[in-house]
Structure 1
Amino acid sequence: MKHLLLALATGLLLAFGWPTYGFPVLLFVAFIPLLYVAHDIKEQQTIKYKGWRLFALSYLAFFIWNFITTNWLQYADMFGACFAILVNSLLMALLILIYQAVAKRTTINKSLLFLITLWICFEKLHLNWEFSWPWLNLGNAFSEYPKWIQWYEFTGAFGGTLWVWLVNGILFKALLTFFKFKENSILKRAAIQTTLLICLPIVFSIVRYYTYTPEEDTIEAVVLQPNIDPYSEKYNATNKRVGELLIQLAEENITENTNLLVSPETVLAENYGVNLPRFNSSSEFFQAKSFVYNYPNLNYLLGLQFYQKHTNKADILPTSNQYNDKLWVDYYNSAAFINADKEPLIYHKSKLVVGVENFPYQSILKPIIGDAMLDLGGTVAMKTTQKERSAFKLKNSEYKVAPVICYESVYGEYVTGYVREGANVLAIMTNDAWWGNTQGHKQHLSYARLRAIETRRAIARSANTGISAFISPKGDIIKTLAYEEQGSLKARIPVNTNITFYVQAGDYIARISMFLALGLFVITFFRRDRV
């Protein structure tokens, strides 16, 4: 019963430390109960099936965390929600088993260092493999407290993960040492160490928050929130009617000085979308082009779905969707950059939603489970991506804007690619309506604040049903348009040119952790430490 209660404690502490409803300080002690369970199971000789017992208790803890924080996925697709929650809990529980195997063979210091680096490697895996799901990476937990984490401009969100685990590790080791020697000085020393470890980064961050000032230049931006139901209205409405609605909403706030207008992702998605090779002669393009002609400085970022047909096998890609022996079609979740002077520029979303826009490890899984793409109300098909990020130069300006589409905004190092391409402002185009009025869309907005701090770039965020917002380079939300409210939002936002250390170095904490975890694993299993 004691082990069960401790596992429940870990799950609940993790869950109630999560944004946007929780208090992240809970995470600094959240893993201690589960680590104690692992230690106690290892030390007790009378317990049978130790591995299975630890796995079950770890799985329970992580299932509670995953379920409470991400059960909103069910509103988009029940199978997808079950898969994400059950499999992610499984992977996290396996990490504890691997840690336990190492802890049996080495010192507590080395085993804890191994666990910390192993967890960071796991989070890095979640940013890069085809079953990518970095929603619960620990560094995300501080997104509602930007004054605490201004140092993310140096470390990225992995700095937050390391922060959480270092505090848990120090406190857990102190707890074991106290149980062994029963000296109060051990707890006092640990309290001082953890207080400094928690407070010093926060103090540094607060000082940085109040002393940091963005560059003086600004642009005027307008974001649109059409509030279209993605399950019915969006795919039944014509592109012409939706385009007219966007223009109507824009005219509520747009002026001759407006530099940037941002729409949500795939807001034009009638039938199968717009024919990509013929976009320059399409009615959708001419509708947008005729509108921007009325405003001398305007640049319009328009979200739409493209398609491109292939009848020649030589032209097909691994992501092409086959309809018959003679026809393949590529689909794209894209942003079109339109102004009065140039031909449109196109960016194709490249970090795709698992099971909705891509089929993970298709060559392996499709023969086993068939076509298991999830239907979120639109074209159920693989999406085609592009290799590099794009940043579009604003008309009558030296500055560039990045078209960050939806899920891409969850990936820290990925977003730095836009900045390295010259982006001075981030425009996030998203459609969070699939999840209803739940924590899903609130967390998605909150995570965008991390990208602002990491890159020191202001963000103009257009969400179909909300929450549309402007975010400062310090991670503060300047203005918002409430969920399910139709309208537009205008603000002047700074355009920065400075490059942060994190933009230059990327996820270096994860890369270092990979070498440390591998080295510790090899040393542990091929050389025994002297006790």
Structure 2
Amino acid sequence: MRYFLLALASGLLFSLGWPTWGFPLFLFIGFVPLLIAEREIRTSAKKRKGWQVLLFAYITFLTWNIIKTNWLWYSSEFGAVFAITVNSLLMSLVFLLYHHFAKRTTFFISTVFLTSLWICFEKLHLNWDFSWPWLNLGNGFSEFISWVQWYEYTGTFGGTLWVWIVNLALFKSYILYKEFKQKSILFRGSLKASVYILLPLIISLWMYNSYEEGGETVNVVVLQPNIDPYSEKYNVPNDEIATLLFDLTEREVTAETDFVIAPETVFADNERIEVFEESAITNRIRSFINEYPHLNFLSGVSLFKVFDDREQVTNQTNQFPNGLYYNTYNSAFMISDKPDMDLYHKSKLVVGVESTPYVGIIKPLLGDIMLDLGGTVAMKTTQEDREVFKSKNGAFATGPIICYESVYGEFVTGYIRNEANFLSIITNDAWWGETQGHKQHLSLAKLRAVETRRSIARSANTGISGFINQRGDVEETLAYNTQGALAGTLYLNDEITFYVAYGDFLYRIALFILIGVILIAFTRRRGEVGIE
């Protein structure tokens, strides 16, 4: 029962520390109960210790995953069960590896191993086919953005490292206290942990209060059509959608407006990619923006391409029963006074809904197991480069981030390296209803603003649409589940942050250290269980 309560306590602490209603100080003690349980199991005479560690770690991470990502259920019951149970298991396996490693080495080396391994695990979760980085530890500070202004140097892995350093300092103090029974050890340990928390916090608060936006500005209108994707979105012709978007635009647009931004796949009545640039809907948009000087109209659209040439088939290609092939795209496009349309295809896809993980292995075994998420089911085709949409005079350049892509820090830096001076996020966020899902998604966008020091315009179908400044503050919003348009002025920025230049360098350091401590552990005698 003691181990169960310790494991449960860790899960609850992480939940209490997580956005959007949590307080991140709880993250700094979240691992301590589970670490205590693991150590007591490891140093006991019990049998099947590894299985016990795996079980209690699973209780911790399952509790955290259920409480903070249960909103997935509203979009897909199977998807929620799969994501929650598998993610909890993967986190638990990291702890199991630490358990086996700690048995043969010192406290210091084993905890360095654990921290490095966890960072490498989070990096894996950013890049492999089963990507689900929602609960990466560095994301936990998104509602307290003034605490992590130094993310412009470290990205979210800096937050992950911060959480682990404090947890391990407190854990070490607990072990020493249990061994020597001196209350002064707890006092010194708490003081040291406080310094570890306060020093980065003070630096961040200084950066937050001293950071000033300046320079050129861009005038943006974001649209929030509030279309129900389950009953309306995929049944309304694009022409009717265009009329709605134009009506919303006219509420806020002026002769000074530079951009109008509409949500992801708002034009959901699939258009053929080969002729989309000259389609009826794009011609209507061109006619509309001709009434306003230098207006750029950015929106999401569903596109498709049908073909019979097998040489064009990729792992992202679908097939009709009649043998023809087709590609589908979740895309962003921009129409302006330039002669050619800008077009970008979403490249970080939602697992199951837009991509089948390891399709070469899974599809022959299980067939088409795509999850139904309100009509969007089909493998999507992606592109390699991060396209940047630029105005005709080149003064404005925006990175068109589509929905889930806004969760990925290093991915977003690709837009900045391609000269984006502000960012646009277009998303749906209607799938989860009035839950934490859409609130957490907005919250994570604030981290991208800090990492890149780019202002963000966010257009969400059902909300929350709004504007985020370069410090990560949400300045203005449209309430969830309302229809409307919002005008705002954003500062542009052409400077490159350290994080944009070097990306997830902390992961690369962690990987190097991980390999080093593994070599040390397996080339030395078994270490003592105590502190070294």
2:346 is aligned with 1:349: yes
2:428 is aligned with 1:431: yes
Corresponding residue number in structure 1 for 2:139: 140
2:405 is aligned with 1:408: yes
Q: Is the 8 A contact 1:471 1:477 kept in 2?
A: yes
Mapped partners of 1:251, 1:396: distance in 2: 24
Mapped partners of 1:213, 1:342: distance in 2: 37
Corresponding residue number in structure 1 for 2:325: 328
Between 297-306 and 413-422, report the one with greater CA deviation. Answer: 297-306
SS at match of 1:134: coil
Give the drift of 1:340: 2.3
2:41 is aligned with 1:41: yes
Q: Deviations over 1:493-512 (max 9, x none)?
A: 10001110000010001111
Give the drift of 1:343: 1.3
Count of aligned pairs: 528
Give the drift of 1:529: 5.1
Corresponding residue number in structure 2 for 1:319: 316
Percent of pairs with identical residues: 53
**Is there any run of 5+ residues in structure 1 with no aligned partner, and where?**
none
Q: Deviations over 1:194-242 (max 9, x none)?
A: 1111011111111111111123211100100000001110001010001
SS at match of 2:267: coil
Corresponding residue number in structure 1 for 2:492: 495
Corresponding residue number in structure 2 for 1:21: 21
Mapped partners of 2:395, 2:265: distance in 1: 28
SS at match of 1:57: helix
Give the drift of 1:395: 3.2
Mapped partners of 1:14, 1:71: distance in 2: 15
SS at match of 1:433: coil
Mapped partners of 2:392, 2:66: distance in 1: 46
SS at match of 1:90: helix
Mapped partners of 2:72, 2:321: distance in 1: 33
SS at match of 1:307: strand
Q: Deviations over 1:74-123 (max 9, x none)?
A: 00000000000000010111111100111100110111111011111110
Aligned-partner residue type, residue 163 of structure 1: W
Aligned-partner residue type, residue 417 of structure 1: G
Q: Is the 8 A contact 1:459 1:470 kept in 2?
A: yes
Corresponding residue number in structure 1 for 2:246: 247
Which runs of 4 or more aligned residues in structure 1 lie more than 6 Å from their structure 2 counterparts after TM superposition? none
Q: Is the 8 A contact 1:424 1:497 kept in 2?
A: yes
Q: Deviations over 1:121-148 (max 9, x none)?
A: 1100000000000000000000001111
Q: Deviations over 1:439-493 (max 9, x none)?
A: 0000000000000000000000000000001000000001000001100000101
Corresponding residue number in structure 2 for 1:280: 277
**Is there any run of 5+ residues in structure 2 with no aligned partner, and where?**
none
Corresponding residue number in structure 1 for 2:118: 119
Give the drift of 1:325: 5.5
Q: Is the 8 A contact 1:312 1:326 kept in 2?
A: no
SS at match of 2:325: strand
Corresponding residue number in structure 1 for 2:478: 481
Q: Is the 8 A contact 1:298 1:395 kept in 2?
A: no
2:10 is aligned with 1:7: no
Q: Is the 8 A contact 1:11 1:65 kept in 2?
A: yes
Give the drift of 1:302: 1.3
Mapped partners of 2:276, 2:447: distance in 1: 35
Give the drift of 1:185: 2.7
Aligned-partner residue type, residue 455 of structure 1: T
Corresponding residue number in structure 1 for 2:32: 32
2:154 is aligned with 1:155: yes
Aligned-partner residue type, residue 325 of structure 2: W
Corresponding residue number in structure 2 for 1:521: 518
Corresponding residue number in structure 2 for 1:206: 205
What does 1:90-105 correspond to in 2, within 5 Å? Answer: 90-105=89-104
Mapped partners of 2:519, 2:366: distance in 1: 36
> TM-score, with normalisation over the residues of structure 1?
0.98
Mapped partners of 1:457, 1:451: distance in 2: 8
What does 1:437-516 correspond to in 2, within 5 Å? Answer: 437-516=434-513
Mapped partners of 2:443, 2:138: distance in 1: 12
Give the drift of 1:367: 2.0
What does 1:63-74 correspond to in 2, within 5 Å? Answer: 63-74=62-73
2:357 is aligned with 1:389: no
> TM-score, with normalisation over the residues of structure 2?
0.98
2:247 is aligned with 1:230: no
SS at match of 2:456: strand
Corresponding residue number in structure 1 for 2:307: 310
Give the drift of 1:525: 2.6
Mapped partners of 2:361, 2:237: distance in 1: 38
Mapped partners of 2:482, 2:199: distance in 1: 41
Give the drift of 1:366: 1.4
Mapped partners of 1:254, 1:530: distance in 2: 69
Corresponding residue number in structure 2 for 1:176: 175
SS at match of 1:287: helix
Give the drift of 1:530: 5.3
Mapped partners of 1:135, 1:454: distance in 2: 17
Mapped partners of 1:422, 1:239: distance in 2: 32
Mapped partners of 2:302, 2:524: distance in 1: 56
Q: Is the 8 A contact 1:10 1:31 kept in 2?
A: yes
Mapped partners of 2:179, 2:49: distance in 1: 22
SS at match of 2:17: coil
Q: Deviations over 1:229-261 (max 9, x none)?
A: 011100010100011101110110011111111
Q: Is the 8 A contact 1:228 1:234 kept in 2?
A: yes
